[in-house]
Amino acid sequence: MDGAPGPSGTPVLELDGLSVALPKTGDRTHAIDGVSFSVGRGEIVCVVGESGSGKSVTAQAVMGLLPKGQLTLSGGSIRLEGKEVTTCTPAELRALRGARMSMIFQEPMTALNPVERVGAQIGEVLEIHTSLSAEERRNKVLDVMASVHLPDVASMIDAFPHQLSGGQRQRVMIAAALVLDPVLLIADEPTTALDVTTQAQILKLIAEMQARRGTGVLFITHDFGVVAEIAQRVVVMQHGKVVEIGTRDEIISRPKAAYTQMLIKSVPSLEPPSRTPKTSAVALAIEGLSKTYVSGGFLAGKKRVVKAAQNVSIEVRRGETVGIVGESGSGKTTVARCVARLIDPTDGEIKIGGVDVARLRESALRPHRKHVQIVFQDPYRSLNPRRTVGASIIEGPVNFGESTADATRRARDLMTLVGLQPDALERFPHQFSGGQRQRIAIARALAMEPRLLIADEAVSALDVSVQAQVLALLDDVRERFDLAVLFITHDLRVAAQICDRIAVMQNGVVVEHGPTAELFSNAQHAYTHALFAAAPGRGVKFGAGIEATT
């Protein structure tokens, strides 16, 4: 991929002034407004934008899948290989879908029917659009499954989706999308739900398919790492409008629009800044921590033992941020939940300020609870929707005997500290955006004046520009309160920027542990290497040319 535009000729897809109207009750009139761009034959065009930018609506409009009664096409044209599709009848659209254009989705588990064999689901496209016999269909399905590099296709064709891994399911989706050789493949955040190493494989597969079959790909993503990895041209969207269109290199190193520049600058670099090692007092010492889940037994049949964490030892000093990095199932969240004593560790010690809290009973533990606070991933679920923000923030201090008036006064100060209006204490969580809620969750944690703050994927659900702000806030409060921070993340870019030291976890074990810069430049363990190699957009310098153009 060299970032050159696709070959000339009629573009596979042309959007011209496309608008989609929102229902009248919405906060704006159009989901997308006057969107124009094209996808050439064998070209990968990335549509990138933050939540609410209209990128998914654009894809739905092209496929004719706009939710009925809520979103309506209100203007512009969509041409597939020069043929207008906005005026197609539902029957004509059905004939196009699957055959000439097809789509893959973010969540491969929900996009596949759990009670139908994967071979049948791929074959369904053939059954509808072709007159092949059952035998021919099966052979064709086997071929396409082999072409997306699924292992042992002869037995996998009769497997059910739950028997496959996430990456394999997404390969099945891609096989079903490509079985009829469509000219256009729409991929709506196809790798967002996948682990980074699986993501790298799927991105490679999509690029391979596009190169081999000459398919035009409309790739929707919020992740600039993925853009850098796969795009030839990039369309940047904001609030339903196209902000900028350019080749990959233009957008990534020399963006012109102020919004694109802001986005690109917000992408955390994979190169860690140099940091001086902290020598302050140890705030948290985890020693030999293990957590084992045992299920089954006497009535439920065969006993199954899952070792979620094994012999984990990590130290966090005051004012230091230590990251735990790993893929899903690596045990990083288990460690965080053990430290917060939301689950009981099976073995090992958790020393907070010198006191081992790993085995304390709930009543003895309560005085120590205030020293450890946690900020969760999902800002929409981490605040009680029925209680005002103020009530959530002062709950902890009041539990520890502070008067409501004093606690409220401090809560007002904390709201200012995290960059929100103090008056917002009276409001309810649903009145805030995701980034604002995460700020509130941080304020609630700080209200306890903790020694250790656990951030469990605290910025993973946020848009990149908001993510940058919340990361800056976390770093600010760490320094201000001399906090020890245990930072759980799957995102290497974020980890590179915020962590002093990083522990890499795989299958419940810490495989490597060291200062961030050292780990990134000189990883020892094979898994760490694999993880870094899979990080999308490595070796690409984001916004390298911004200074030159502004």
Partner 1 sequence: MAVADTTPVRPRASVLRQLLRSTSVIIGGLIVGAMVIIGALAPWLDTRDPAEVNPSVRNKLPGFTATIRDDDGNKVPVTYRFGTDSLGRDIYSRVVYGARVSLIVGLTVSLISIVIGLLIGLIAGYVRWLDGILMRFMDGLMAIPAILLAIGLVSVFRAGLFAVVVAIVVPEVPRVVRLVRSIVLSIREEPYVESAITVGTPTPLLIFRHVLPNTIAPLIVQGTFICAAAILIEAILSFLGIGIPPEIPTWGNIMAEGRTLFRVFPQNILYPGIFLAVTVLGVNMLGDGLRDVLDPKMERRG
Q: Please report, as ranges, the residues that interact with partner 1 according to CB under 8 A.
A: 23, 67, 70, 340-342, 362, 366, 369-370, 372-374, 376-378, 381-384, 386-387, 392, 395-396, 399-400, 417-420, 424, 427-428, 430-433, 435-436, 439, 441, 444, 447-448, 469, 472-473, 476-477
Residue 69 or 114: the one with the smaller Cβ distance to partner 1 is: 69
The least CB distance from residue 366 to partner 1, in Å, is 5
Only one residue has tokens 């304020």, namely 443
The least CB distance from residue 164 to partner 1, in Å, is 26
Calculated CA dihedral for residues 48, 51, 53, 59, nearest 10 degrees: 70
CA atoms of 308 and 294, how far apart (whole Å): 10
The 3-state DSSP class for residue 154 equals: helix
Residue 362 or 547: the one with the smaller Cβ distance to partner 1 is: 362
Residue 86 or 469: the one with the smaller Cβ distance to partner 1 is: 469
The least CB distance from residue 21 to partner 1, in Å, is 13
Residue 53 or 392: the one with the smaller Cβ distance to partner 1 is: 392
DSSP-H helix ranges across 272-372: 332-339, 362-369
- Report which DSSP code applies to 97: B
Residue 9 or 67: the one with the smaller Cβ distance to partner 1 is: 67
Are the beta carbons of 264 and 255 closer than 8 angstroms? yes
Tokens of 82: 């020069």
The least CB distance from residue 275 to partner 1, in Å, is 20
The 3-state DSSP class for residue 94 equals: helix
Cα→Cα distances 477→105, 384, 422, 437, 444, Å: 38, 24, 18, 16, 13
The least CB distance from residue 374 to partner 1, in Å, is 5
The least CB distance from residue 154 to partner 1, in Å, is 41
Residue 4 or 342: the one with the smaller Cβ distance to partner 1 is: 342
Residue 311 or 433: the one with the smaller Cβ distance to partner 1 is: 433
The least CB distance from residue 431 to partner 1, in Å, is 5
CA atoms of 203 and 323, how far apart (whole Å): 26
Tokens of 131: 């007159």
Calculated CA dihedral for residues 296, 301, 302, 308, nearest 10 degrees: -20
Three-state SS string across 488-510, please? EECCHHHHHHHCCEEEEEECCEE
Residue 147 or 436: the one with the smaller Cβ distance to partner 1 is: 436
The least CB distance from residue 46 to partner 1, in Å, is 26
Are the beta carbons of 501 and 515 closer than 8 angstroms? yes
